[in-house]
Chains A and B, each alone.
Chain A
Amino acid sequence: MHLEAIAEKCTGCRICENFCSVKHEGAIWPERARIRILAETDSGPFTPNVCRQCEDAACAAACPVEAITKDQSTGAWVVNDDECIGCENCVEACPYHAMFFDAESGKAFKCDLCGGEPECVAICPFGAVQKVP
């Protein structure tokens, strides 16, 4: 499974970012959202930027300690916090700017498809982000 953005449907509301950060961080925190809305201007056009869960994930390839592995049930590339050394190679390597770094914890973080039921897909009012099996 991976996520796909249908940019024309995005209104820039950021509900996806808000629910994503609540799910993962227990707080409304756009800086910790795994999905990010790119806005050309305050009034759009908008593009939901999502991790593509690439077949040949550049992030995984760049990781020196193999901390990024594929969850076979969901198809999501997942960062193993215990293994991650915070080198940020993955952040640099991702061609989609969908890998992030938390300076506080010293760990990389990314979309994990919420274990199979992505919050953003469920909550987006206009279907601007969909899941593709």
Chain B
Amino acid sequence: MFPYRGYAGKCLYVDLTSGKIETREYDKALAENYLGGNGFGTRLLWENVGPEVDALAPENLLIFSTGPLCGTIVPNPGRMEVIGKSPLTGIYGDANTGGFLGPEFKFAGWDAVVITGQSPRPVYLAIADNQVELRDASHLWGLTTSQTENAIRQAWGDPRVKTATIGPAGENLVRFAGIQITPQRSAARCGLGAVMGSKRLKAIAVRGHGPIRVADPHRLHKVAIALHKRLRANPIFPAVHAHGTPGIVSLMDALGRFPTQNFRMGSFSYVDRINADTLRARAFVRDLACFGCPVACDKLYCVPDGPYAETALRSVEYETVNALGACIWNANLDALLAANRLCDELGLDTISAGRVISFAMELWDEEILNLDDTGGLALYWGDMDTVLPLLRMIAYREGFGNLLAEGVRRAAQTIGRGAERYAMHVKGMEIAAQDGRAQKSMGLAHVTSTRGADHLKAFPVIDETGYPDEGRRRYGEQYLPDIVQPLATKHKAFLVKDGEDFGAVVDSVGMCKSGGTFVLAEIYWPDIAAALEAATGMEMPVEQLQRIGERIYNLQRCYNALHGITRADDKLPRRFSEEASPSGNAKGQTIDIEPMLEEYYQLRGWDAETGWPTAKKLRELGLEGAIERLQR
């Protein structure tokens, strides 16, 4: 019997080709060495999905994975991971999500669902505690994500069913299609919605009525109460609660870290029209929270009047305000909200969707694209009367939308004519709302992230604003003042490496980075170690936990190495080194990634030439099997 609490102790293995559904006990060694969440998913990809497997082939895995702290009483416990090889990048892919689905899996008695194969016809997976079956979804195929959830709940007769659904974008294999998660949150990045669509899996629906048992409820209660108290005493807590992630829009703009016109600039002349204060005044309805979270950073918004009246939505994040706002030069907040809602319904990652459009708009501006190329669509900056229909065209792969549905890297390759210069990606993943010129650590983070350009793997937030207390709390005095200065490069390789290892653990246990682990910088290694011991009954000294984080990250890197990723791929688009930022605090700045990268490889124990983990490092982490496999 599985010996640890906190976990449900069992996983579902679903083969959509045969329709076979199997229950397997959670692997004890996997739990001890990788914890869960993205750690579990990484190990399964490594073992089962080799470089010969196309991301949209039946042999790719799609893994929904919770962690041992997901659904418990530590603060920010609502998160889970979706993992699979990405059809956008062709390498390791994962998408993290909050809301209420993760805990529901655990109440139903499942830690993870591992999906392989391809169904002959559209289906959805229905999990009612220990009753699991595949149900026909042909009547759902083609529906938007909220239509799908409503229909499933109606048929089930229970409004408290939680779902993961794809929309038309996933069905049509858009390479950056996402998965919507109850309640209207997103497992958005890396195109895992397309993987789900390639398997003809329209949705997973879960309802659970059981307990999440923990090893030492009394000790966990003590740990949890202390963490709740520390979070709520943090001087920034009220501000994070007040606005959620859009609360940083004007600040990032002032820092020159708010990508505008496809990263030509780092500040938006009309930022006041789309910032948190304006958003709140225009459309705020109420505060919302994910499962178990005291921050309650989510908000329900509703546009009160005008052409987009009655557009109601939640989970309006900083990233989307940038992607469908500044980066496409859109200052119309109502239209931004409508576009956000549309992406949710179609099942599109707002970041990549916004970025393919800003890419196309810059090409239009540079006269690399003309009306013949676009099928008659004029792509002027900020024209939302074009953007909204274009989002649909992308989701349905119609006309010019079919090209953009491939993501900026492939689209640039197809267009040629120097388009690649304007494709702002790393390893095929579009860059989110950060600018390495304005915050040097983010430039490094984009380059070293294992899923392609991503800020969240390392999530170096303590050096955004120069606020020293967060740096001091986490690392002591030794790295101050440089480690918290956005334009400094000293100690940033350390900051990124530590963030990646700690972040890998946060993503494997099921906690949220927008809460105490990163944005409020209150929760760190010893806290998670103590929470794990109390919840699971595992012994978890801090050094062991750190090694787990390192192991997960190194295995992701090994997986990418198998797929041909080397140091040569660890680079930023030339814009960041060749074009000085004109904006805000970043004015005059460029970024040279090489010195930080050199230092990063040293800290990681990776070979400076190949960028691969050395045999020594792999042995240290118990990954001997990878040594031989990489040598081949």
Chain A–chain B contact at Cβ < 8 A: yes
A86 touches B (CB below 8 Å): no
For B103, B225, B292, the residue with the greatest tally of chain A CB atoms inside 10 Å of its CB is B292
In the complex, the answer to whether A13 meets B182 with C-beta atoms within 8 Å is no
Known: A13-B290, A31-B209, A44-B288. A125 touches B296 (CB 8 A): yes
A107 touches B (CB below 8 Å): no
Known: A27-B212, A28-B214, A125-B294. A45 touches B286 (CB 8 A): yes
Q: Mark A1-33, 1 if CB is under 8 A from B, else 0.
A: 000000000011111001101110111111110
Which 5 pairs between the two chains have the least Cβ-Cβ distance?
Answer: A42-B183, A13-B289, A27-B211, A125-B294, A29-B211
In the complex, the answer to whether A26 meets B292 with C-beta atoms within 8 Å is no
In the complex, the answer to whether B212 meets A28 with C-beta atoms within 8 Å is yes
Known: A22-B221, A42-B183. A126 touches B296 (CB 8 A): yes
**Subset of 9 A-B contacts with CB under 8 Å:** A12-B289, A13-B296, A25-B211, A28-B71, A29-B212, A31-B209, A42-B100, A42-B183, A43-B288
Q: What count of chain A residues pass the 8 Å CB interface test?
A: 25
B107 touches A (CB below 8 Å): yes
A-B contacts besides A13-B296, A44-B286, A125-B232, 20 pairs, CB < 8 Å: A11-B289, A13-B291, A13-B294, A15-B73, A15-B294, A18-B292, A19-B221, A22-B73, A22-B214, A27-B212, A28-B72, A28-B103, A29-B107, A30-B107, A31-B210, A32-B211, A42-B100, A43-B300, A43-B314, A125-B228
Which residue of chain A is the closest to B218 with respect to CB atoms?
A26
Give the docked Cα–Cα distance between A13 and B287 (Å): 10
Q: What count of chain B residues pass the 8 Å CB interface test?
A: 33
Interface residues, chain B, CB within 8 Å of chain A? Answer: 71-73, 100, 103, 107, 182-184, 209-214, 217, 220-221, 225, 228, 232, 286-294, 296, 300, 314
Give the docked Cα–Cα distance between A30 and B104 (Å): 10
Known: A11-B296, A125-B232. A19 touches B73 (CB 8 A): yes
Q: Mark A74-96, 1 if CB is under 8 A from B, else 0.
A: 00000000000000000000000
A123 touches B (CB below 8 Å): yes
Residues of B within 8 A of A125 (CB): 228, 232, 294, 296
Residues of B within 8 A of A26 (CB): 213-214, 217
Residues of A within 8 A of B214 (CB): 22, 26-28
Give the docked Cα–Cα distance between A15 and B107 (Å): 15
Residues of A within 8 A of B290 (CB): 13
Give the docked Cα–Cα distance between A23 and B220 (Å): 11
Which residue of chain B is the closest to A44 with respect to CB atoms?
B286
Residues of A within 8 A of B210 (CB): 29, 31
**Whole-angstrom distance from the CB of A19 to the nearest CB of chain B?**
6
**Whole-angstrom distance from the CB of B97 to the nearest CB of chain A?**
14
Which residue of chain A is the closest to B73 with respect to CB atoms?
A18
Give the docked Cα–Cα distance between A23 and B225 (Å): 12
In the complex, the answer to whether B221 meets A11 with C-beta atoms within 8 Å is no
Interface set, chain A 34-54, CB cutoff 8 A to B = 42-45
Residues of B within 8 A of A32 (CB): 211
Residues of B within 8 A of A21 (CB): 211
For A21, A22, A44, A126, the residue with the greatest tally of chain B CB atoms inside 10 Å of its CB is A22
Give the docked Cα–Cα distance between A15 and B227 (Å): 13
**Whole-angstrom distance from the CB of A10 to the nearest CB of chain B?**
9
**Whole-angstrom distance from the CB of B29 to the nearest CB of chain A?**
26
Known: A22-B217, A27-B214, A125-B296. A11 touches B72 (CB 8 A): no
**Whole-angstrom distance from the CB of A20 to the nearest CB of chain B?**
10
For A13, A25, A126, the residue with the greatest tally of chain B CB atoms inside 10 Å of its CB is A13
Residues of A within 8 A of B213 (CB): 26-27
Give the docked Cα–Cα distance between A31 and B211 (Å): 8
Which residue of chain A is the closest to B72 with respect to CB atoms?
A28
Give the docked Cα–Cα distance between A32 and B217 (Å): 15
Which residue of chain A is the closest to B231 with respect to CB atoms?
A125
Give the docked Cα–Cα distance between A53 and B100 (Å): 31
Residues of B within 8 A of A28 (CB): 71-73, 103, 211-212, 214
Residues of A within 8 A of B293 (CB): 13, 15
Residues of A within 8 A of B228 (CB): 123, 125
Residues of A within 8 A of B221 (CB): 19, 22-23
Which residue of chain B is the closest to A46 with respect to CB atoms?
B286
Give the docked Cα–Cα distance between A89 and B533 (Å): 42
**Whole-angstrom distance from the CB of A6 to the nearest CB of chain B?**
13
Which residue of chain B is the closest to A18 with respect to CB atoms?
B73
**Whole-angstrom distance from the CB of B295 to the nearest CB of chain A?**
8
Give the docked Cα–Cα distance between A125 and B288 (Å): 12
Residues of B within 8 A of A126 (CB): 287, 296
Interface set, chain A 69-123, CB cutoff 8 A to B = 123
Which residue of chain A is the closest to B313 with respect to CB atoms?
A43
Give the docked Cα–Cα distance between A39 and B293 (Å): 17
Residues of A within 8 A of B107 (CB): 29-30
In the complex, the answer to whether B287 meets A11 with C-beta atoms within 8 Å is yes
Residues of A within 8 A of B314 (CB): 43
**Whole-angstrom distance from the CB of A23 to the nearest CB of chain B?**
8
